[in-house]
Amino acid sequence: MKILVLGGTAWLGREVAAQAVAAGHAVTALARGESGGVPAGVTLVQADRTAPGAYDAVSGTAWDAVVDLARQPSHVRGALSSLAGTTRSWAFVSSASVYAADDEPGADESARLLDPFVDDDEAGQTYGARKVACEQLVLDAVPDRALVARSGLIAGPGDHTDRTGYWPLRFAHPATEDGAVLVPDSPVGTQVLDVRDLAAWLLGCAERAVTGVVNASGPVLALGDHLETARRVAGHTGELVPVSQEWLAGHRVSPWSGERSLPLWLPLPEYAGMMTRSTAAAQARGLVARPLDQTLEDTLAWEVSQGPGRPRRAGLSPADEAALVDLARTAS
């Protein structure tokens, strides 16, 4: 097959390209190349998707599949205009952030979406609405050839968001002298999918020209069970210091990600469904997730290789956590 990855130098796109080459396909990646190089065997076409003629070098080819990871509507619009007429199968990687509400556990693809934001924007608060606009462009242009994969939280080695690597690394390197780790006392669900499994599934769908709009994420697991898996992988035997969501909010600890946060924790009840969405449609199309312990073992190894003391995009600093553990123990 001739596969065009629109991206291919960052995390998921690079994994898709690498697996496609390993499977014997002829792979081209169109990207600016600012996120890094392409995997060995992939042809890089350097182009800025905002520039006129961005797709000129690839528009004359009959592609068996295009895989697009764009988040800007103009990028999707331009790609479809240049390539849809000569492409057999079109996979667009969307996001579970397209949904208007996150409070319903088990919601499927029929759940209400955000209103589309049709202009390009870098603001985080428009991300989901821009993905809605991108989805609509794809489904309008190639309705019978499109796979729209609404990805949930992606995990695994290379997680530059620092969300899925935080817990195994923290359990392996506690912030306190006695090895205690601060954890949310919450029944919220978690739902992560290894980047390698998502890439393999996207490639398999391209090979089989699979279509549809589907949630692409991993099995649902209670936060406590996820943390216990991370703890086991890291070999942690220290104390757990559980605190409520009210305590965390009162001490200015943010959920999910960002500075001074606890990754994977989400407030209830408003986020009860964010990581408990139905993936039955994706599983029917062949999505398979590896065991969580395998993902976390490999993520921990990658985290250690990057240096445990590096600046992070999510989590508590060791100093912050040690101080919070002391406060939690004093209050108990």
CA 269 to chain centre: 23
| pLDDT value for 135 | 98
Mean pLDDT of 226-243: 98
| pLDDT value for 233 | 98
Record: fold of 156-192+219-271+290-331: UDP-galactose 4-epimerase; domain 1 (3.90.25)
Distance CA 204, CA 20 (A): 9
CA atoms within 13 A of residue 246's CA, in its CB half-sphere: 0
Q: What is the mean pLDDT of the chain?
A: 96
Domain spans in the chain, listed from the N-terminal domain onward: 2-151, 156-192+219-271+290-331
Name the residue type at position 110: S
Model confidence over 79-90: pLDDT tens digits? Answer: 999 999 999 999
> Residue 308: which pLDDT band, with cuts at 50, 70 and 90?
confident
Question: Quick one: tokens of 101?
Answer: 């509400």
| pLDDT value for 37 | 86
Mean pLDDT of 271-276: 97
> Residue 215: which pLDDT band, with cuts at 50, 70 and 90?
very high
78 compared with 37, residue with greater pLDDT: 78
Distance CA 77, CA 73 (A): 6
SS3 117: coil
> Residue 168: which pLDDT band, with cuts at 50, 70 and 90?
very high
102 compared with 34, residue with greater pLDDT: 102
| pLDDT value for 6 | 97
Is the per-residue pLDDT at 301 higher than 90? yes
| pLDDT value for 33 | 83
Check: CB of residue 217 under 8 Å from CB of residue 189. Answer: no
Cα distances (angstroms) measured from residue 244 to each of 89, 110, 216, 254, 255? 47, 33, 30, 13, 12
Model confidence over 108-164: pLDDT tens digits? Answer: 999 999 999 999 998 789 999 999 999 999 999 999 999 999 999 999 999 999 999
Check: CB of residue 104 under 8 Å from CB of residue 275. Answer: no
| pLDDT value for 133 | 98
Q: In CATH terms, is domain 2-151 a member of 3.30.70.20?
A: no
Check: CB of residue 278 under 8 Å from CB of residue 220. Answer: no
C-alpha angle with apex 270: 268 to 272, nearest 5 degrees?
65
Q: Map tokens 């980047």 to a residue.
A: 195
Distance CA 224, CA 263 (A): 13
Whether pTM exceeds 0.85: yes
Is the per-residue pLDDT at 248 higher than 90? yes
Mean pLDDT of 170-186: 97
